[in-house]
Amino acid sequence: MYLEVSDVKKSYGKDTSFVQVLRGISTSVEKGQMCVIQGTSGSGKSTLLNCIGGLDTLDSGSIIVDGREIAGLSQAELSEYRRDNLGFIFQFYNLVPNLTVRENIQVCQYLAEKPLDMAELMDTLGLTPHQDKFPAQLSGGQQQRCAIARALIKNPKLLLCDEPTGALDSATSRDILVLLENINAQYGTTMLIVTHNNAIKNMVHKVLIIKDGMVKKDYMNETRVPAAELEDL
């Protein structure tokens, strides 16, 4: 199993401001699978993603990624773990405004031992004509493509996507999901996708639904629908 999450608990604050966000989450994802994490606002889905990504520390429990326990790692070890294993895609892109598309991608390319081919990746994502533009000169969909390219250039084993289509219209959302699907097929990248969008669960291998910090449903999707055919995005 590539990812194993066991009885993970996470809280914030103390005394009157104490909030228990994760209340014993357990799940697993095999290498090369796409997994959707769904739940209402405040259910804990983004917190779970941040714990897996080494951005938040656990109160208790275990997270094993590719055979390595990440709970309890030092900050230096977590930085190394993120650099060597992970790609992050966020809802609001987080591009560097004074860098071009190519330069935004190169920021992560320099971190990787075996990066993907820049020209091929930009061509795959339709960014070649826009490589010398700045983020403010791009549409929302183009900015998200740039963010995806920046995450993928490292050739990560695990891609963490936090609401990757949340700021996009339905047509652009479909284009981005088709890209993620193609990337999964081409590179075998394991993906965790946090989303409010109920339709996205139909295209992935596995679905995890969280409610009030606990697992409500955890199942394999036996009737996957291609991203291009998703409805009600």
**4-13, pLDDT tens digit by residue?**
999 999 999 9
Residue-level pLDDT at 111: 82
Question: pLDDT exceeding 70 applies to what percent of the chain?
Answer: 100
| Residue 196 binned pLDDT confidence (cut-offs 50, 70, 90) | confident
Residue-level pLDDT at 165: 86
- For residues 17 and 138, what is the distance between their CA atoms, to the nearest angstrom? 41
229 class by beta-carbon count within 10 Å (0-12 exposed, 13-18 middle, 19+ buried)? exposed
Segment holding 47, helix H or strand E: helix 45-52
| Per-residue pLDDT tens over the stretch 38-50 | 998 889 999 999 9
Strand ordering across the sheet containing 60-65: 19-29, 3-12, 60-65, 68-69
Segment holding 144, helix H or strand E: helix 140-152
Per-residue tokens: 104: 């935004």
What is the amino acid identity at position 222? E
Residue-level pLDDT at 147: 92
Residue-level pLDDT at 95: 93
Three-state DSSP class for residue 74? coil
- For residues 189 and 79, what is the distance between their CA atoms, to the nearest angstrom? 20
| Residue 207 binned pLDDT confidence (cut-offs 50, 70, 90) | very high
Mean pLDDT of 202-220: 96
For 49, list phi and psi in degrees, rounded to 5: -60, -40
Is pLDDT of 83 > 80? Answer: yes
Mean pLDDT of 160-188: 89
| Per-residue pLDDT tens over the stretch 116-144 | 889 988 988 889 999 999 999 999 889 98
What is the amino acid identity at position 144? Q
Q: Extract the runs of DSSP E, i.e. beta strands, from the chain.
A: 3-12, 19-29, 34-38, 60-65, 68-69, 86-90, 158-162, 190-195, 206-211, 214-220
Residue-level pLDDT at 53: 95
For 82, list phi and psi in degrees, rounded to 5: -65, -40
How far is the CA of 219 from the CAs of 27, 42, 108, in angstroms? 10, 22, 34
Mean pLDDT of 75-95: 89
Is the pTM higher than 0.85?
yes
Residue-level pLDDT at 231: 86
Question: Could you tell me the domains of the chain?
Answer: 3-229 (3.40.50.300)
